A and B are shown apart, each in its own frame.
Chain A
Amino acid sequence: MLRYRTLLLLLLWMIAAPCLLNAKQLAVVTDTANPTTNLTAAELIKLFNAHTHNWADGKPVIIVVRDPDSADMELVLRKVFSMTPVQARAFIQAHKPSIVVAGSDDAVLHFVSTNRGAVGIIDLYSLTKDVNVIKIDGKLPVEQGYLLRGN
């Protein structure tokens, strides 16, 4: 028996029972000195596809992503890169050193928080105070209609 209070206290059985799958919620993060607070979906896609090289304040953009084969990248590849993992790997290879691969969300956070102009995508639930969360189309990751939510 799992000690799992919501099972009993809510009695919303179809809601509270442990589910088999959850939709991902990803956060786009920058270093805390970056003045950018919002990007449109189109700007985000241009940024991560290396079409935008500098932030509004002139700092060079450094992109940090997880391994294209990782489960965490599936949603990003589908919604931001529109690439397969193989295509993404080649793309990253071709755009070194402005795109960096990190092995974990903690590594993404560390890189972003210590490199001015860095931008990364992490699981929302890995978020720390060391980085800024960027709104996409004016929405935070917890809001309805946010771009980087899904499977």
Chain B
Amino acid sequence: MNKLLIFTAMAFASLPMSGAAQQSNLLPLSIKSRQVRRLLDRAWVLDSDQGEQTQAIVVMRKVVKIEPEFAMGHEILAQISLDPAEQVSEQKLAFANRGHANASEQTVIEWFQNAADHKLIPAITNMNDVLHQYPQDRWLVFLANSWLMEQTQYERAAAIYENSGLSDSPGLVNNAAYTYANMRQFSKAFSLMDKFVALMPKDPNPQDSYAEILRMAGYYTVAIDHYRAALSINPQFYSSQFGIADTYLLMGDEVQARKEYDAAFKKFPSLGELERIQWRTREAATYIYEGDLAAADKALGAIVDYARPRHLSQVEAETYRQMAMYQPEKQRGMDLLHKAEIALNEGSNISENKTQQEAAEILRTRVYLAIGAGEASAAGSAIAKLARLSMDSNDKVIDAAFNGAVGAELFYERKYSGAIPHLEQDMRSPLSLKLLAAAYQATGYHAGARRIQEILTHFNDPTIEQAMIVPAFRKCLANPACEVNVKNAAMTVSR
């Protein structure tokens, strides 16, 4: 399907309260002007189909400026914005203007408001309520898919996509491919990627997505070929340039990875602040792969130095925490965590929710360091604080930090059966996955252990924690002399 057809379809989709919308089972939108309708269509194409999220955000800002009472416009902007402050303010505006919205739009707004308020069950029922009414509405399917991906609910996301029958929308095909890739159903993911490429042969994003999914599957060299194909279509598609660097990092070719990062930073000097920091952090991870912790300290220290004068308190806190994670000396790690806490507490431009999430991650790291040093009371003290945070928040990130920490402590005490349910709630963490595999093995759940080992072996996110855990795990698995289920339970970085 070409872009013209998408435009036509979406213009139809966004007819205000029209009979056509009701007949075609699409969510009616309370739009007053044709201009806003056109802009909304444009935002859809940019954000969903072309991966041009930044441009889509600009368009959506125009939408809500022209029609400030268009509550659903505020909601869409809240959901696609990359600025945490804007997400919060637009969600508030969506909720405040819901009186101008129709009943279905109100349900969508309540869904995201409940989600923001950590009222997960009503959020889910809101989502399903409106999806049952309009299962084929592109915006709804797209919002649901994106939200469920954030919640790591891939199976439900896949079910909603399949039920929609929207197989020719490039953006949804792209999302669905990632959904299946995260479920490790790569044959479906590759098939969708072939379709995505065919739908948009002159756009770099399908090739970039294909590369990322190939990389998730461990096909590194083919992934690089697809990144280069994306760049041949559009040399300014910077995510592909950095994607090549990330892929070399995951391949364990740290020197080449740094060359590629360097080239990418030179080629794209005007990257957004957060994107720049993201890839600088990944560049720093190359040193952790190499075991050169002093160089990693230097690289991450530069990020702290960049963040502090710009009042990027969350970045500063996170970076200190990440530095603490790999420190061989416990006291140095604790000092860094203390700095992280200071940065977090001094930060004035962080939402309370983000502050609590980062505080939880700092406490989790305190637990890991204390366990590594054999200081049970310090670990217990940090866990008690985490428990209070978790009890008060009903936040998935905080809950995961709590469970990861408790699971690690119980594992360390060889209470494997007790550790398992906690570690199962922290499946995003390579360390928890590693401990979970060992705990399953220790309790005789061998099939579960094998499954988690396979997942960890193919854990291909270029993160600091991945760098600390996965390469060593892969080496151990490949070495018959390495008793993987026991040795990998070590709490320190082993290279």
Chain A interface extent, by class: 35 or more
Which residues of chain B are within 8 angstroms of A12 by Cβ–Cβ distance?
318, 357-358, 361, 397
B174 in contact (CB, < 8 A): yes
With A19-B428, A125-B153 as given contacts, are A11 and B318 in contact (CB-CB < 8 Å)?
yes
* Main DSSP-derived SS at the A contact region: loop
Contact, CB under 8 Å: A15 / B400: yes
Contact of A125 among B83, B148, B272 (CB under 8 A): B148
B136 in contact (CB, < 8 A): no
A83 in contact (CB, < 8 A): no
Contact, CB under 8 Å: B182 / A5: no
Determine the distance from Cα of A136 to Cα of B331 in the docked complex, in whole angstroms.
42
Residues of chain B having any CB pair with chain A under 8 Å:
47-48, 51, 53, 79-84, 87, 120-121, 124-125, 128-129, 132, 146, 148-156, 159, 171, 174-175, 178, 182, 184, 205, 208-209, 212, 216, 239-240, 243, 272, 274-275, 277-278, 281, 314-315, 318, 322, 354, 357-358, 361, 390-391, 394, 397, 399-400, 402-403, 420-421, 424-425, 427-430, 433, 448, 451-452, 455, 458-459, 461, 463-466
Contact, CB under 8 Å: A9 / B82: yes
* Main DSSP-derived SS at the B contact region: helix
Which residues of chain B are within 8 angstroms of A143 by Cβ–Cβ distance?
394
Contact, CB under 8 Å: B314 / A1: no
With A4-B149, A127-B124 as given contacts, are A20 and B178 in contact (CB-CB < 8 Å)?
no
Contact, CB under 8 Å: A20 / B53: no
Min CB distance A69 to B, Å, is 14
Contact of B182 among A18, A71, A128, A150 (CB under 8 A): A18
Contact of B128 among A72, A128, A141 (CB under 8 A): A128
Which residues of chain A are within 8 angstroms of B154 by Cβ–Cβ distance?
22
- A1-37 interface bits toward B, Cβ cutoff 8 Å, 1 = contact, 0 = none: 1111111111111110111111100000000000000
Determine the distance from Cα of A18 to Cα of B132 in the docked complex, in whole angstroms.
27
Contact, CB under 8 Å: B461 / A150: no
Contact, CB under 8 Å: B156 / A15: no
Contact, CB under 8 Å: B121 / A127: yes
- A105-131 interface bits toward B, Cβ cutoff 8 Å, 1 = contact, 0 = none: 100000000000000000111111100
Contact of B424 among A2, A19, A149 (CB under 8 A): A149
Which residues of chain B are within 8 angstroms of A128 by Cβ–Cβ distance?
125, 128-129, 132
